[in-house]
Amino acid sequence: MPRPGFVLEVDRSTPPALIWHGEGFRLERLPAERSRIVYAPEPLAPLPDPDAAIRAALLNPLGDRPPLPELLRPGMRLTIAFDDLSLPLPPMRRPDNRQRVIEAVLDLAADAGVDDVVLIAALGLHRRMTEAELRHALGDRVYDAFAPSGKLLQHDAEDPKGLVMLGKTDLGEDVEVNRRVAESDLLVYVNINLVAMDGGHKSTSTGLMSYKSVRHHHNVRTLQHSRSLMDRPHSELHSSAWRIGRLLNQHVKVFQIETTLNNDAFGSQLAFLQKREWEWGLRDRASFMAASRGVELLSPRARRSLFQSVLAPHQMTSVHAGEVEVVHEATIANLHRQQVVDVEGQSDVVIFGLPHVGPYNVGSIMNPLLVMCLGLGYFFNMYIGKPLVRPGGVVILSHPTPWAFHPVHHPSYIDFFEEVLASTTDPAEIEKTYEERFATDDWYRHLYRTSYAYHGVHPFYMWYWGAHALEHASSTVIVGGNRRAVRRMGFRPASTLADALEMAEDQVGRDPTITYFRCPPLMLARVE
């Protein structure tokens, strides 16, 4: 029986805590009597037979959807869209949830004699996936069956001929969707719900739409009023996505299939990452020593490729299919079962150790903007109720934050960092002055469509993602970060955690209370 998550009050006998630091970790002793560590629940037991569970879900859908076979008929246009590279994190071992689900759906489609089947990677404004990445997500069998004949597509949010405007929501939000989706008799959406933000109408209204639609929920105003964006009922972002998704559902029949994973992110060799420090055995200590020493010996590039090659052993804990909103409720309940930890009250300071991978640097480089987004956008928002840190408190991130960028994946990030952040770090100012130019830039558009680049506007979203945190906290300190890069973002660099805590005292006073959110493994803090 997996143990739930809990909050450890640090005292003098508490061993040093493991803190993620990019492609590495640090062990830090936290101040006794005023620090607490939030530990994630242990991984839930996976579904014993995921394929059977999938089949059962397809045949027993939730909400007002009939079983999938009843929706399939010869001559129909069937489109299967699936979550892209940004999920799950780290990428999971084969077979991926998407492969299992899509194979099951395709089996039913074949049985029903459906010929016109197209697979679409729901990229939204993300970069295209490479052949290897597609093969990993879908399996070779699916890939080889669809790709050569051009039936495996990647959503192109900038293809004027490939988009259809379906109309506007009550609040005037444009709904411009992938043409194939709009013209399909059935859209099956295959999702992996890694964190509470994912899934539901957000899958389609982000993954299959254009900048024109996405900008309605990805902006400074919605993000500042998404408290948090991991808590849909209190998220402006989701409210907008839901309105847009509902309008899509009026035009296209959507059959949503959502899956959840347990939080077993690291295999046996890195098991210590999943364990609580005082429970480390001899083997865990040895592998921690070996891993941290070994990592130090490697070049940054070798370190990066080593960490990027890690595949997670996480496994499916639930699968639901049917009507979008009902399915999503069930999914979120399962997700909460795995991730929620109850935390009492806020603290003056919160510490996040950032790992090597976030949603936008799979197979790539965690550039400074992605560090900001992972820390202030994702980790900060991993709460229900109130943020872990009090208003005016200090956020401390731990990450090397190198001045490094992937030239193919993140070209507009480089220019954003060099040009935009050099003049201002204020999200509203950035949105007002620069967003449109980057979003409509022909060269970025070209790279997004034909190369492997994120959309020109994507770095702006990284910054907006942190807008709530920027507004809430009084300052951000990055431990061990490249000083120039950290300062460029308007944050303060510190060489050690002790220094960072000293600096925090300038803001929040002597002997502040501290929360260390020991994530990953993934969790969601319910703060009373």
Partner 1 sequence: MLREALEGRRIAITGATGFLGTALTERVLRCLPETEVVLLVRPGRRGAAERARRDVLANDCFRRLRRELGHRFDEEASRRVIPLAGDVTVDGLGLDAAGREVLASCSTVVHSAATVSFDAPLDAAVEVNLLGPSRVAAALRQAARERGPQGDGPPRPALPHLIAVSTAYVAGGRRGLAPEAALAETPFSPQVDWRAEVAAARRARSDAESASRAPEMLARFRRQARAELGAAGVPLLAEKTEDLRAEWADDRLVELGKARAQALGWPDAYAYSKALGEWALLEERADLPLSLVRPSIIEASLAEPHPGWTRGFRMADPVIISYAKGLLREFPGIPEGVIDVIPVDLVVSAILAVAARGPVAGPDIVHAASGARNPLRYGQLVSFVREWFSEHPLADDKGQPIEVPQWTFPGRRRVQRQLRRATNLLEGAERALQAMPLRGSKADLAARVEKRRDDAERALSYVDLYGSYTETEAVFSVQRLLRLQDSLSPEERREFCFDPAVIDWRRYCQDIYLPAVVAHARVPQADGRRRPAPAGRSREQRARRAVLSPDRQLAVFDLENTLVATNVVDSYAWLATRQMGLAERARFTARTLLEAPRMLRLDNLDRGDFLRWFYRRYEGADPGELEGEAWEMTSDLLLSKAFPAGIRRVREHRALGHRTLLITGALDFLIEPFKPLFDDVVSAHMRSAGGELLGELDEAPPTGEARALLMADYAAAHGLELAQCVAYADSTSDLPMLEAAGFPVAVNPETKLATVARKRGWPVEHWSRAPGFRRPLLPFGPLKLGARHGDNYRADKPGATGQQGATAPREQGAMALRERPPRTVSPKTGSGGLRKI
Question: Could you say which DSSP state residue 200 is in?
Answer: T
- Binders of partner 1 among residues 280 to 319 (CB under 8 A) are 300-301
CA-based R_g, the chain, Å = 22
Instruction: State both tokens at 495.
Output: 């060489």
| C-beta closer to partner 1: residue 23 or 42 | 23
- Binders of partner 1 among residues 52 to 111 (CB under 8 A) are 106, 109-110
Binding to partner 1 by residue 407, rule CB under 8 A?
yes
Instruction: State both tokens at 342.
Output: 């109850």
Span of 186-194, 283-291, 444-452, 497-505 interacting with partner 1 by CB under 8 A: 444-452
CB of 342 to partner 1, least distance (A): 40
Residue type, 107: D
Binding to partner 1 by residue 467, rule CB under 8 A?
no
| C-beta closer to partner 1: residue 250 or 451 | 451
Span of 165-173, 390-398, 402-410, 426-434 interacting with partner 1 by CB under 8 A: 402-410
d(CA 60, CA 72) in angstroms, rounded, equals 15
3-state SS of 455-473 is CCCHHHHHHHHCHHHHHHC
d(CA 385, CA 528) in angstroms, rounded, equals 6
Span of 67-75, 167-175, 384-392, 404-412 interacting with partner 1 by CB under 8 A: 404-412
How many C-beta atoms lie closer than 10 Å to residue 59's C-beta? 14
d(CA 239, CA 508) in angstroms, rounded, equals 34
| C-beta closer to partner 1: residue 285 or 301 | 301
Q: Which of 48, 74, 75, 148 forms a contact with partner 1 (CB under 8 A)?
A: 148
CB of 479 to partner 1, least distance (A): 19
| C-beta closer to partner 1: residue 126 or 227 | 126
Instruction: State both tokens at 463.
Output: 């910054």
| C-beta closer to partner 1: residue 94 or 446 | 446
Span of 90-98, 155-163, 228-236, 345-353 interacting with partner 1 by CB under 8 A: 155-163
CB of 81 to partner 1, least distance (A): 12
Class of residue 400 by CB neighbours under 10 A (exposed 0-12, middle 13-18, buried 19+): buried
| C-beta closer to partner 1: residue 189 or 380 | 189
- Strand 514-518 with 475-479, pairing: unpaired
Binding to partner 1 by residue 153, rule CB under 8 A?
yes
Binding to partner 1 by residue 154, rule CB under 8 A?
yes
| C-beta closer to partner 1: residue 142 or 265 | 142
Q: Which of 360, 405, 463, 465 forms a contact with partner 1 (CB under 8 A)?
A: 405
C-alpha closest to that of 2 among 38, 39, 40, 41: 41
d(CA 275, CA 288) in angstroms, rounded, equals 11
Binding to partner 1 by residue 217, rule CB under 8 A?
no
- Strand 6-9 with 35-39, pairing: antiparallel
Query: Is residue 84 within 8 Å of residue 121, measured between CB atoms?
Result: yes
Instruction: State both tokens at 526.
Output: 């319910």
Binding to partner 1 by residue 486, rule CB under 8 A?
no
Span of 216-224, 269-277, 448-456, 458-466 interacting with partner 1 by CB under 8 A: 448-456
Q: Which of 363, 402, 427, 459 forms a contact with partner 1 (CB under 8 A)?
A: 402
Binding to partner 1 by residue 415, rule CB under 8 A?
yes
Instruction: State both tokens at 355.
Output: 């790992």
CB of 116 to partner 1, least distance (A): 6
Helix (H, G, I), strand (E, B) or coil at 280: coil
What single string gives the DSSP state of each residue in 395-436? EEEE----S---TTT-HHHHHIIIIIHHH---HHHHHHHHHH
Q: Which of 168, 234, 449, 483 forms a contact with partner 1 (CB under 8 A)?
A: 449
| C-beta closer to partner 1: residue 73 or 285 | 73
CB of 473 to partner 1, least distance (A): 27
d(CA 412, CA 433) in angstroms, rounded, equals 16
Q: Which of 7, 59, 310, 404 forms a contact with partner 1 (CB under 8 A)?
A: 404
Q: Which of 49, 294, 443, 502 forms a contact with partner 1 (CB under 8 A)?
A: 443
| C-beta closer to partner 1: residue 48 or 150 | 150
Q: 139: number of CA atoms within 13 Å, CB side? A: 15
d(CA 96, CA 157) in angstroms, rounded, equals 25
Token pair 């046996």 is found at: 268
**Site size for partner 1 (CB under 8 A):** 64
Binding to partner 1 by residue 251, rule CB under 8 A?
no
CB of 410 to partner 1, least distance (A): 8
d(CA 19, CA 27) in angstroms, rounded, equals 6
C-alpha closest to that of 214 among 177, 179, 251, 248: 177
The site for partner 1 (CB under 8 A) is made up of 106, 109-110, 115-118, 120-121, 128-132, 134-135, 140-156, 159, 161-162, 178-180, 300-301, 365, 367, 402-408, 411, 414-415, 418-419, 441-443, 446-447, 449-452
